């Protein structure tokens, strides 16, 4: 008998993340820029940003994030890997194929890369849910991995960061049951973009903030017209966080759109638990909203049975609002200690080291190039030969 997709409970069964081996604190950045450190700590809500070593990239972070999931659940039921990124390493080959190889997964898996700025991972999540609803026996591995890089001394420099999130999407999930409907919003704009010939992104800060908040209104309105939950039913909302203060602004805008009047401190209390990891990692583009979810789940707040919202935004722009329910058993499946240890292991660097890494690049003429081991992670980029990136375990 065929499965009725509308009767299948689908969502996030496991969730983890990885970041880089280095970090630049905003105190160190302030010593160079001359800006008061409060501009960073309180103005944008950031205290540090993850910086990749020469042998770390979106593939090594994604493989590092996914490994604990494979160790816990195995890979035999995974039929699809969806890799979302806006800092792709190849215009043709999906970065997820490298991850598939590093993880030693079986060959009978489809692998696809998705792109739409910071929204791409949510497109991957929704595609994954649709696949599982059609075949509840299969699992989908969703990877979101990015390195946010802006020009030195530009307004966006202080919001840089890097991380990867990995999610296992299944029927009868252990962490979050995802709901329908979704609220959608798309509008053509140039608030943030990165042409193929640039390694750093371009951004119009005010235009981007305005576009983000307009998308909050648009996605929420569409969600409500399709019979979504009222605002009062939501414990909190996980937002895309280009910087953590943006989540606070977005929540106040959502309250206005829902005709909710709330004191400022209650807004901050609702959003604060979602910002812990992004505050010290920086912007991770496609992974950002899912780090917000991880931060919320790892907090001391008891969320079992609560409904929460998600607002995913990608410049250009595309946005989606949807909801989910935290399962009563979620705490038994968290990785809180591992996540905190992963962040704590990062080595602080000085500004000169950061500048070197910011300008470092692989050769583009096919010249053989070896990369020395620097990462603290499980995997590394070992070099490039004949225009081909070489990956291996960090111990080899």
Per-residue pLDDT tens for 179-211? 999 999 999 999 999 999 999 999 998 999 999
Q: Compute the average pLDDT of residues 373-392.
A: 96
Task: Provide the token pair at 365.
Answer: 């003429």
User: What pLDDT does residue 3 have?
Assistant: 60
Residue 155 pLDDT greater than 70, yes or no: yes
99, 66 in Cβ contact below 8 A?
A: yes
Position with higher pLDDT, 2 vs 284 = 284
Count H helices and E strands in the chain, helices first.
12, 18
Give the whole-angstrom CA distance, residue 47 versus residue 25.
Answer: 6
- Please report, in angstroms and rounded to a whole number, the separation of the first and last CA atoms in the chain: 49
Are residues 379 and 358 in contact, defined by beta-carbon separation less than 8 angstroms?
no
Q: What is the pLDDT of residue 317?
A: 97
What tokens were used for 63?
Answer: 């493989």
Residue closest to 191 by CA, chosen among 87, 118, 124, 122 = 118
Q: Which helix (H) or strand (E) holds 295?
A: helix 288-297
What is the distance between the alpha carbons of residues 259 and 43, in angstroms, rounded to a whole number?
26
Whether the per-residue pLDDT at 84 is higher than 60: the answer is yes
CA dist 36 and 26 (Å) reads 10
d(Cα 107, Cα 110) in Å, to the nearest integer?
8
pLDDT of residue 247: 98
Q: What is the DSSP letter of 200?
A: S
Q: What is the mean pLDDT of residues 289-309?
A: 97
Q: Mind listing the domains of the chain with CATH numbers?
A: 5-177+334-393 (3.40.47.10), 178-331 (3.40.47.10)
Q: Which residues contact 71 (CB under 8 A, 6 or more apart)?
A: none
Contact 287, 264 (CB under 8 A): no
Query: For the chain, what percent of residues have pLDDT higher than 90?
Result: 94
**Catalytic residue numbers, as ranges:** 86, 118, 240
- The single residue listed with the structure tokens 């909710």 is 260
pLDDT at 5: 66
pLDDT tens, residue by residue, 246-291: 999 999 999 999 999 888 778 889 999 999 999 999 999 999 999 9
Q: Which of 244, 240, 83, 100 is nearest to 164 (CA)?
A: 83
Distances (CA, A) of 33 to 37, 313, 372: 10, 29, 31
Phi and psi at residue 241, in whole multiples of 5°?
-125, 85
- Computed over every residue of the chain, the mean pLDDT equals 96
d(Cα 179, Cα 293) in Å, to the nearest integer?
A: 15
CA distances from 73 to 14, 66, 68, 310 (A): 9, 11, 9, 26
Tokens of 269: 């209390």
Residue 362 pLDDT greater than 90, yes or no:
yes
Coil/strand/helix, residue 89:
coil
SS3 289: helix
Per-residue tokens: 70 = 């494979």
pLDDT at 264: 78
Full-model pTM: 0.97
pLDDT band at 1 (very low <50, low <70, confident <90, very high): very low
């Amino acid at each position: 008998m065929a499965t009725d997709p509308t009767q299948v409970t689908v969502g996030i069964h496991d969730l983890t993340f990885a970041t880089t081996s280095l970090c630049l604190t905003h105190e160190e950045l302030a010593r160079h820029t001359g800006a008061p450190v409060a501009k960073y700590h309180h103005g944008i809500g950031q205290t540090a940003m993850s910086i990749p070593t020469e042998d770390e990239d979106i593939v090594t972070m994604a493989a590092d994030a996914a490994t604990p999931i494979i160790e816990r659940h195995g890979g035999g039921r995974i039929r699809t890997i969806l890799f979302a990124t806006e800092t792709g390493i190849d215009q043709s080959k999906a970065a997820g194929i490298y991850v598939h190889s590093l993880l030693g997964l079986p060959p009978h898996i489809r692998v696809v890369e998705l792109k739409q700025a910071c929204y791409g991972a949510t497109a991957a999540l929704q595609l994954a849910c649709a696949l599982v609803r059609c075949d509840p026996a299969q699992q989908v591995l969703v990877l979101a991995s990015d390195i946010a890089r802006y020009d030195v001394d530009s307004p966006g420099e202080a919001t840089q960061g890097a991380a990867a999130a990995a999610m296992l999407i299944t029927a009868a999930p252990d962490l979050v049951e995802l709901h329908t409907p979704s609220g959608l919003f798309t509008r053509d704009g140039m608030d943030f973009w990165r042409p193929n010939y640039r390694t750093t992104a371009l951004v119009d800060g005010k235009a981007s903030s305005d576009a983000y908040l307009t998308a909050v209104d648009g996605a929420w309105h569409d969600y409500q017209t399709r019979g979504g939950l009222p605002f009062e039913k939501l414990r909190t909302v996980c937002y895309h966080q280009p910087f953590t203060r943006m989540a606070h602004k977005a929540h106040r805008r959502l309250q206005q759109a829902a005709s909710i009047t709330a004191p400022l401190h209650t807004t901050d209390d609702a959003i604060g638990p979602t910002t812990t990891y992004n505050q010290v990692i920086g912007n991770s583009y496609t992974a950002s909203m899912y780090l917000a979810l991880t931060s919320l789940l790892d907090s001391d707040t008891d969320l079992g049975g609560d409904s929460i919202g998600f607002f995913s935004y990608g410049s250009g722009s595309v946005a989606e609002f949807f909801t989910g329910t935290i399962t009563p058993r979620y705490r038994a499946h968290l990785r809180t200690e591992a996540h905190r240890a992963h962040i704590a292991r990062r080595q602080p660097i000085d500004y000169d080291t950061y500048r070197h890494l910011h300008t470092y690049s692989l050769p583009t003429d096919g010249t053989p190039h070896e990369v020395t081991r620097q990462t603290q992670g499980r995997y590394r980029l070992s070099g490039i030969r004949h225009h081909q990136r070489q990956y291996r375990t960090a111990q080899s």
